[in-house]
């Protein structure tokens, strides 16, 4: 207890009176509960909660602690050993009794994955541990202020109301972590090994190679030539496809939405057709339409007297065909979106322009185009990034052909991602493929983070 000198002044402020009242209501005690609770929880998870008289919560946390310690002692060392060494015993033929039997050695990849998962679970448990210490400390502080700590029921209610988003998001997040994040981490790790189809476990052991594969890509002439060539084509491809898709959609939208065009819905429905046919079907169909010898396009050309064009067999023409096909597939979406945006542009701007004597072209450049650009800009950037990885079209239409002998396992129309596919699925060079994968990852992340933070949907709409 401490004593307060009460001023013998009748002009007490409201705050001073309030302080007096509060001092009488709650017993302030010097900071004991919070520190002790925190230390107890630091020693053994859950003890602090028990000390704070939150029994059920404390017992649950104690159970977590026991589980965590058990896992740490039994599984963690093996996991670390597995990840670091990737196995030491090879699969061998051992003499068992009178026969030679194949005795399984260590499976490097399984060791890596299991190790990863165990380490990840330990990280989660440690995070929970830290949370429990914080929780014990805070509850202790509350007790110092004289407030009774929550019962378990109250805790559950609190979680249901205030932690709803966290709980709801937990389910999708688990899926994302397991099926998106974990595989990417695995891929990054494989890039540092010598894992290829020729050294498949469990017959072989895999070793860490460090940055050797990275250096190889730039040092060995064929690899670096391939890498630069494919990377530049990937960027050109993404740029051209995004531009053609966008401007094509824009032009068609303008045509359809002009005053005086009848049957607007009919035109829109027809133009949606390329988008509505499943992409792999239409790409395979187009591959046959553009077939150099038998396809109908060349047939019509020869009927009209032109020479047959090597749509898919000449390197340059193959690239043109790819861009053309992608344009066919992608302009409906742009067109639809732009039609939507066009309808939101206020008509009076056009009328004002008419009064000022602007002709059609000027109106498009100065009114329509900027308005559309403003709404579409982030989407265009996303499209660009997406096109960098447009695997389906390239693989299904040309399969990266025509073959380029200068390139290492790649053709003229391969982009980074289709090369990655060939490297891993067809050639089995998993570590090289993973290195390429890391490059794609870095390129994507830079664009994505830059773009995402700028998007209007992301900037706070809290202004409501």
Q: Of residues 234-263, which lie at the interface with other proteins (CB under 8 A)?
A: 252, 255-256, 258, 261
CA distance 65 to 126: 10
CA distance 403 to 410: 7
Residue 369: partners with Cβ closer than 8 Å, 6 or more residues away? 250
- Per DSSP, 96 falls in state E
Q: Report 414-453 residues binding other proteins (CB under 8 A).
A: 417, 420-421, 424-425, 430, 433, 437, 440-441, 444-445, 447-449, 452-453
Residue with tokens 């008509």: 347
Q: Report 279-298 residues binding other proteins (CB under 8 A).
A: 279-282, 284-286, 288-289, 291, 293-296
Q: Report 389-418 residues binding other proteins (CB under 8 A).
A: 389, 391-392, 395-396, 417
The yes or no reply on residue 378 touching other proteins (CB under 8 A) is: yes
Q: Report 87-116 residues binding other proteins (CB under 8 A).
A: 109-110, 113
Question: What minimum distance in Å lies between the beta carbon of 421 and other proteins?
Answer: 7
CA distance 373 to 367: 10
**Distance from chain centroid for Cα 93:** 44
Residue 93, H or E segment:
strand 92-96
Do the Cβ atoms of 225 and 237 come closer than 8 Å?
no
**How many binding residues for other proteins (CB under 8 A)?**
102
Do the Cβ atoms of 401 and 315 come closer than 8 Å?
no
CA distance 24 to 228: 77
Q: Of the listed pieces 13-21, 48-56, 157-165, 361-369, which binds other proteins according to CB under 8 A? A: 157-165
Question: What minimum distance in Å lies between the beta carbon of 355 and other proteins?
Answer: 24
Residue 99, H or E segment:
strand 99-103
The CA dihedral of 377, 382, 383, 385, to the nearest 10 degrees, is: 130
Q: Which is nearer to other proteins, 42 or 380 (CB)?
A: 380
Of the candidate residues 227, 311, 328, 419, the single one contacting other proteins (CB under 8 A): 328
Q: Report 168-207 residues binding other proteins (CB under 8 A).
A: 168-169, 171-172, 175-176, 178-184, 186-187, 190
Of the candidate residues 164, 208, 211, 369, the single one contacting other proteins (CB under 8 A): 164
Q: Using CB atoms within 10 A of its CB, is residue 158 exposed (0-12), middle (13-18) or buried (19+)?
A: exposed
Question: What minimum distance in Å lies between the beta carbon of 294 and other proteins?
Answer: 4
Q: Which is nearer to other proteins, 355 or 463 (CB)?
A: 463
Q: Of the listed pieces 59-67, 79-87, 203-211, 337-345, which binds other proteins according to CB under 8 A? A: 337-345
Q: Of the listed pieces 55-63, 80-88, 159-167, 363-371, which binds other proteins according to CB under 8 A? A: 159-167
């Amino acid at each position: 207890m401490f004593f307060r000198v009460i001023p013998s002044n009748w002009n007490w402020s409201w705050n001073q009176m309030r302080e007096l009242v509060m001092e009488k209501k709650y017993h302030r005690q010097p900071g004991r509960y919070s520190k002790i609770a925190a230390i107890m929880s630091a020693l053994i998870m859950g003890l602090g909660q028990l000390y704070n008289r939150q029994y059920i919560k404390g017992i649950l946390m104690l159970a977590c602690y026991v589980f965590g310690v058990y896992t740490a002692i039994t599984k963690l060392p093996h996991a670390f050993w597995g990840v670091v060494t990737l196995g030491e015993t090879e699969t061998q033929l051992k003499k068992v009794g009178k026969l030679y039997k194949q005795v399984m050695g260590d499976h490097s990849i399984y060791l890596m994955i299991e190790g990863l998962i165990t380490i990840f679970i330990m990280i989660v448990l440690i995070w929970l541990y830290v949370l429990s210490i914080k929780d014990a400390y805070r509850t202790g502080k509350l007790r110092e202020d004289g407030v009774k700590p929550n019962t378990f029921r109250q805790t559950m209610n609190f979680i249901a109301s205030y932690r709803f988003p966290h709980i709801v998001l937990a389910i999708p997040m688990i899926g994302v972590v397991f099926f998106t994040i974990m595989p990417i981490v695995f891929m990054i790790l494989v890039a540092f090994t010598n894992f290829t189809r020729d050294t498949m476990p469990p017959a072989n052991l895999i070793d860490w190679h460090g940055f050797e594969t990275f250096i190889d890509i730039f040092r060995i002439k064929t690899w670096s030539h391939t890498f630069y060539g494919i990377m530049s084509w990937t960027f050109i491809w993404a740029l051209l496809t995004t531009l053609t898709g966008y401007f094509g959609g824009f032009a068609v939208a303008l045509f359809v939405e002009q005053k005086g065009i009848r049957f607007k819905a009919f035109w829109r429905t027809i133009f949606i057709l390329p988008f509505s046919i499943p992409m792999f079907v239409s790409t395979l169909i187009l591959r046959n339409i553009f077939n150099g010898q038998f396809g109908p396009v060349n047939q019509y050309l020869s009927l009209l007297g032109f020479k047959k064009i090597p749509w898919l067999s000449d390197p340059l023409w193959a690239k043109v065909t790819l861009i053309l096909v992608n344009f066919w597939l992608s302009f409906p979406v742009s067109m639809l979106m732009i039609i939507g945006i066009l309808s939101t542009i206020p008509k009076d701007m056009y009328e004002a322009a008419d009064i000022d004597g602007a002709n059609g072209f000027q109106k498009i450049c100065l009114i329509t185009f900027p308005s559309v650009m403003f709404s579409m800009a982030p989407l265009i950037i996303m499209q660009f990034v997406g096109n960098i990885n447009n695997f389906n079209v390239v693989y299904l239409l040309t399969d990266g052909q025509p073959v380029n002998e200068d390139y290492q396992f790649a053709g003229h129309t391969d982009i980074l991602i289709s090369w990655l596919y060939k490297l891993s699925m067809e050639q089995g060079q998993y570590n090289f493929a993973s290195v390429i994968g890391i490059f794609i990852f870095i390129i994507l992340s830079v664009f994505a983070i830059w773009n995402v933070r700028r998007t209007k949907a992301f900037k706070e709409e809290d202004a409501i």
